[in-house]
Amino acid sequence: MVENELRQAPATSRNREPILAVLARTLPDSGLLLEIASGTGEHAAFMMPRLPETWRWQPTDADPGAFANIDGHARLSLCPRILPAIMLNVRDTTWPIARADAILCCNMIHIAPWEAAEGLFAGAARVLSTGAKLILYGPFKRNRLHTAPSNESFDANLKARDRDWGVRCLDTEALPLAEKNGFDLEEIVIMPANNLTVIFHRR
């Protein structure tokens, strides 16, 4: 795939700097970062060259059709520490990665059935060791309420497209699921555009 054919996600240019800032201050000194649902691959291409050279980035997606785009952005970044994209469906009981030092998942659990969130936490529990971080980015409800009118409209749009989709509630959905799978909440970071970065660590 040539450069001018690569897909781009408009939201990436708005959120990549704030997400990078969170990763830069919360990741340990070195390791393998497993990205779930890499989409266009732009996060890896932007962030990995700006993270320490002791880190490698493993992009994944449940759609093999995304791999050429992900790998194309990786080539343009000129960063050899971005590994070739691989197939990973969070709902599978066996993942193709046996161990990772951190997991990043952006904008997935609201554009997927709840079973995907359940699979994400269950799989993360299998591949992360004690203290390792699972980092989620996206819109969340707090105390069953939307944090902004725009998020409420977005939620309605998602549910109109698929009734199993929707903005999840951090307090009543994500946190109990994390607890069930052996994760503790470490930090909630307020992000631009009424989004949150939610950091968990493996017990």
- Tally of CB atoms within 10 A around 145: 10
**pLDDT (tens digit per residue) in 80-105:** 999 999 999 999 999 999 999 999 99
What average pLDDT does this structure show over 10-28? 94
3-class secondary structure, 141: strand
Tokens 């691959």, residue located? 41
10 Å Cβ neighbour count for 49?
14
Q: How confident is the model at residue 29 (pLDDT cuts 50, 70, 90)?
A: very high
Whether residue 203 lies inside any domain: the answer is no
Sign of the CA dihedral running 105, 90, 29, 202? positive
User: Tell me, what CATH number does 11's domain have?
Assistant: 3.40.50.150
Domain that holds residue 156: 3-195
Residue 45 falls inside a structural domain: yes
> HSE (CB half, 13 Å, CA atoms) of 121?
22
Instruction: List the one residue out of 56, 55, 202 whose CA is nearest residue 133.
Output: 202
Q: Look at residue 138 and tell me if it is in a domain.
A: yes
Burial environment of residue 111 by CB neighbours within 10 A (0 to 12, 13 to 18, 19 or more): middle
Domain contains 200: no
Q: Does residue 202 fall inside a structural domain?
A: no
pLDDT of residue 98: 96
Strand partners for 75: none
Structure tokens at 152: 């409420």
Per residue in 159-189, pLDDT (tens digit) is 999 999 999 999 999 999 999 999 999 999 9
Examine residue 190 and state whether it is found in any structural domain, yes or no.
Answer: yes
| Mean pLDDT calculated for residue range 32-51 | 98
Q: For residue 196, what is the enclosing H or E element?
A: strand 196-202
What distance in Å separates the CA atoms of residue 63 and residue 89, rounded to the nearest whole number?
8
- Asked whether residue 191 is assigned to any structural domain, the reply reads yes
Domain total in the chain? 1
Q: How many C-beta neighbours within 10 Å does residue 85 have?
A: 24
- Are residues 40 and 73 in contact, defined by beta-carbon separation less than 8 angstroms? yes
Share of the chain above pLDDT 90, in %: 95
Return the structure tokens found at 136: 């989620």
Specify if 57 maps to a domain.
yes
